[in-house]
């Protein structure tokens, strides 16, 4: 196969992945609750098929068996650091209000289900496979690592536009900081997109250094799932 045909095949695969992700984002926002538990794993598997058909190896995707141990070690360190950071943040009166997110005002059992089942299957699995696995691998083959990191992280930021639309109403600290109204909503959305794009850069770098998608997935899971647990604990102690 010529270089031109390989490049065209890669671009088609990238466009297909982006189109699928747009559809998933809309389905997650407007579809039935927890549809991501089914959609996430199915779409992740489908994207891996697309990537393999486009010529990527398991190493390109960060899933080669030889990278598992190193990725798990990086992930363990990341989880430990995030857990410690959340523990300090929840303990300090100055930062504790940031955990008062109405979305996570949950019974402890529900919080554990969210952290151990919903987030890994509907969020982390799909997003890591899509952004740090498939998209990163495809763009890196086409334009190199710097382009791949930038494109993957930018799209990861844009991916969070719809989920951020109600954040200023759900989180007490955010509401107090920016208020309500269209202008406040725009500020929240812009801040979330910027923050998650930067987070995407961190995830990509962790993926690059470890050679494994497991490392980025570990940090991603810890950031989301342990945040839910910390928020639930803060709500529980506040009510008590």
Do 206 and 216 contact (CB within 8 A), yes or no? yes
Map 89-124 to HEC letters.
HHHCCCCHHHHCEHHHCCCHHHHHHHHHHHHHHHHH
Q: What are the CA-CA distances from residue 131 to residues 47, 117, 182, 203 (Å)?
A: 10, 20, 30, 9
Model pTM? 0.90
- Euclidean distance between CA atoms 41 and 116, whole angstroms: 15
Sequence spans of domains, the chain: 3-239
pLDDT tens, N- to C-terminus, the chain (240 residues):
666 677 788 999 999 999 999 999 999 888 888 888 999 999 999 999 999 999 999 999 999 999 999 999 999 999 999 999 999 999 999 999 989 888 888 999 999 999 999 999 999 999 999 999 999 999 999 899 999 999 999 999 999 999 888 765 544 444 445 555 556 778 889 999 999 999 999 999 999 999 999 999 999 999 999 999 999 999 998 865
């Amino acid at each position: 196969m010529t270089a031109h045909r390989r490049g065209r095949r890669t671009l088609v695969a990238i466009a297909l992945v982006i189109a699928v992700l747009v559809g998933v984002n809309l389905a997650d926002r407007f579809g039935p609750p927890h549809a991501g538990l089914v959609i996430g794993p199915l779409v992740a598997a489908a994207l891996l098929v697309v990537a393999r058909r486009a010529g990527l190896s398991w190493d390109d995707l960060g899933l080669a068996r030889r990278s598992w141990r190193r990725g798990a070690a990086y992930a363990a360190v990341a989880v430990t650091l995030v857990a410690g950071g959340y523990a300090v943040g929840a303990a300090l009166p100055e930062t504790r209000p940031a955990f008062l997110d109405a979305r996570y005002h949950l019974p402890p059992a529900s919080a554990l289900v969210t952290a151990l089942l919903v987030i890994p299957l509907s969020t982390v699995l799909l997003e890591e496979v899509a952004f740090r696995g498939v998209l990163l691998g495809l763009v890196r083959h086409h334009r190199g690592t710097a382009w791949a990191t930038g494109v993957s992280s930018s799209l990861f930021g844009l991916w969070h536009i719809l989920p951020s639309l109600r954040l200023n109403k759900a989180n007490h600290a955010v509401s107090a900081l920016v208020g309500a109204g269209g202008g406040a909503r725009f500020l929240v959305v812009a801040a979330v997109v910027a923050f998650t794009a930067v987070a995407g850069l961190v995830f990509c770098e962790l993926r690059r250094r470890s050679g494994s998608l497991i490392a980025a997935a570990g940090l991603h899971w810890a950031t989301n799932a342990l945040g839910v647990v910390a928020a639930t604990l803060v709500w529980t102690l506040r009510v008590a």
